[in-house]
Structure 1
Amino acid sequence: MTSDQQPLLVTADGPVVRIRLNTPERGNVLSGRMLDDLLAVLNAADDDPAVRVLVLSGAGRDFCTGGDREELTALLDEDPSGTSLRAVAVKGRRVCDALASTGLVTIAQLHGSVIGAGLALAVFCDLRVGAEDCRFWLPEIQGGIPPAWGGALPRLIHEVGAARVREMVLVADKFDAATAYELSILHKVVPSERLDEAVARWAEPLADRPPAALRTAKLMLNSYALAPRLADGTLFDPDLLASAMTVQARKH
């Protein structure tokens, strides 16, 4: 990414805000800067009474190929204690919390590779539309780290089911859009050339819904989803990730 390139492209069309991850030459990896910008845009959109729908997509060939491992490795080299790395992981958690708690209806528009933290980002959106070329992967344990990014593991278990998520994490096989649909990771699969149209067919009528009813429905859905969870162990995710990467670095 050049120094003047913006990591996000944000456009507003009345009640619909579109956010596009914009570092396609790097697979739209989630750097600390991108996470800062994402959180700022999410908070601003949530505070705007005119906005009702938010669409999240990626520029270039892929939606998002995960966290920025180059940045995390560099941070660990500079600060072997893992404190700086943990700070980036906390940013990821805040972005996912913002997606989960916003009163806006969020739509993930997915194509190409949806990997690791990219899958976490997508699964925190309310609705997910994927192109037929989508490929999904949770490769964390192959790299020697736990699947501790953004508090996504319980969200995946709630959306998909414990048995299948266990397979996704431990076996860590890649899977396609058809399988993602079967697992309820995707709500709809369409040909690549119809992806924009499919998202618009959801976003446009949602934007016309009465705003109070829309936000109340979101609050109810979020509340009922959290009801079975007596404690939130994902609060430790940034520390788990930092500790695991610190240990892995010491071994090398």
Structure 2
Amino acid sequence: MDTRRPPRTGTRPADGPPVRLTAEPHVLRVTLSRPDRQNSLSGPVLDALAAALDRAVADPECRVLLIEGSGGTFCTGLDFDEAGADLADGGPATGAGQGGAAFLALMRRFGTAPVAVVASVDGRVAGGGVGLAAAADLVLATERSQFSLPEALWGLLPCCVLPALMRRTGFQPAYAMALCTQPVSARRAEAFRLVDEVVPDPDAAVRRLLVRLTRLDPRTIGELKRYARALWFTDQETDAFALAEFTRAVASPVARRRITDYTTARQLPWE
């Protein structure tokens, strides 16, 4: 169980853009820049990631969309402050459902866009952050990286994450991560194929990838990704089922209470 306490932050949005974009030769670097919120996935963050993907696809020279974190965290998934505001006063989980739909749509686009989506992980990854990594074409991680699915501690299920994660790892590693909620090391994640390579310098690894990727036509990259997805069982019906289960779980009494306890008193479920 990851018992590190998130920083005490209020519901005021963090200053500055939710992501930073840096154009490099053949690469669009996207840095999640909400370290005070553990680089969680709010609505604006998901919108910014989708816009970054649009920009990468529109650039005929771009071959890699590189997603990285900041402040020792890649991404921790659901923004609980945003979810707590949505659930305030017993309201329906409408906002959470919309966020889940945007998250699923983004992951599906990762699997069809004619650029290589690379997750560069250096530090903590949890919840939906694991989903972002699993949906990427390639995952590079440093030794200090750890991956966890803590949703069950909150009375939730990693509904939107598991289809992409199982596609990468097979059933048992993904199921065990969801059931046990304990972080797994980068080396362990590499052993069951969530991580493609553990590297001391992710940027150097990306440069090595570009030696080959820059020789591919973007249409070929897109065709390969579409063909690979067609060989797997996930489809729009899978996404609809995942979203329905996620919305139901967020609105459950257990999840409402635990999310509210966190947003009002910063009380974590394991305390």
CA contact (8 A) 1:107 1:129 kept: yes
Alignment of 1:102-141 (within 5 A): 102-141=113-152
Looking at structure 2, the residues matched to 145 and 75 of structure 1 have their Cα atoms a distance apart, in angstroms, of 16
Q: If the length of structure 1 is used for normalisation, what is the TM-score?
A: 0.89
Alignment of 1:1-252 (within 5 A): 4-77=15-88, 80-149=91-160, 152-191=161-200, 194-224=201-231, 226=232, 228-229=233-234, 232-248=237-253, 252=257
How far residue 141 of structure 1 moved from its aligned partner, in angstroms, is 1.1
Looking at structure 1, the residues matched to 238 and 60 of structure 2 have their Cα atoms a distance apart, in angstroms, of 33
Looking at structure 1, the residues matched to 251 and 14 of structure 2 have their Cα atoms a distance apart, in angstroms, of 29
SS at match of 1:103: coil
C-alpha change, 1:53 and 1:171, in structure 2 (3 Å) is same
Unaligned runs of 5+ in 2: 1-11, 258-271
How far residue 146 of structure 1 moved from its aligned partner, in angstroms, is 1.4
How far residue 36 of structure 1 moved from its aligned partner, in angstroms, is 0.9
SS at match of 1:232: helix
Looking at structure 2, the residues matched to 167 and 53 of structure 1 have their Cα atoms a distance apart, in angstroms, of 31
Once structures 1 and 2 are overlaid, which stretch shifts more, 238-247 or 134-143?
238-247
SS at match of 1:9: strand
C-alpha change, 1:3 and 1:134, in structure 2 (3 Å) is closer
How far residue 57 of structure 1 moved from its aligned partner, in angstroms, is 0.6
Amino acid across the alignment from 2:185: D
List per-residue Cα deviations over 1:143-162 (Å, max 9, x = no partner).
1011123xx31221121111
C-alpha change, 1:69 and 1:157, in structure 2 (3 Å) is same
C-alpha change, 1:113 and 1:15, in structure 2 (3 Å) is same
Unaligned runs of 5+ in 1: none
CA contact (8 A) 2:155 2:255 kept: no
C-alpha change, 1:59 and 1:248, in structure 2 (3 Å) is same
Give aligned-pair identity as a percent.
29
Looking at structure 1, the residues matched to 30 and 228 of structure 2 have their Cα atoms a distance apart, in angstroms, of 23
SS at match of 2:111: helix
List per-residue Cα deviations over 1:212-237 (Å, max 9, x = no partner).
4333323322322x3x4587323132
CA contact (8 A) 2:154 2:255 kept: no
Q: If the length of structure 2 is used for normalisation, what is the TM-score?
A: 0.83
Looking at structure 2, the residues matched to 181 and 6 of structure 1 have their Cα atoms a distance apart, in angstroms, of 32
Once structures 1 and 2 are overlaid, which stretch shifts more, 35-44 or 131-140?
35-44
Q: Aligned pairs, how many?
A: 246
SS at match of 2:28: strand
Looking at structure 2, the residues matched to 235 and 94 of structure 1 have their Cα atoms a distance apart, in angstroms, of 11
Amino acid across the alignment from 1:12: A
List per-residue Cα deviations over 1:163-192 (Å, max 9, x = no partner).
22221111222110110000101111123x
Amino acid across the alignment from 2:175: R
How much is the aligned-residue C-alpha RMSD, in angstroms? 2.2
CA contact (8 A) 2:77 2:126 kept: yes
CA contact (8 A) 2:20 2:30 kept: yes
Looking at structure 1, the residues matched to 149 and 85 of structure 2 have their Cα atoms a distance apart, in angstroms, of 22
Amino acid across the alignment from 2:184: F
SS at match of 1:63: strand
C-alpha change, 1:88 and 1:205, in structure 2 (3 Å) is same
Amino acid across the alignment from 2:169: V
CA contact (8 A) 1:160 1:183 kept: yes
How far residue 64 of structure 1 moved from its aligned partner, in angstroms, is 0.8
CA contact (8 A) 2:111 2:226 kept: no
CA contact (8 A) 1:103 1:219 kept: no
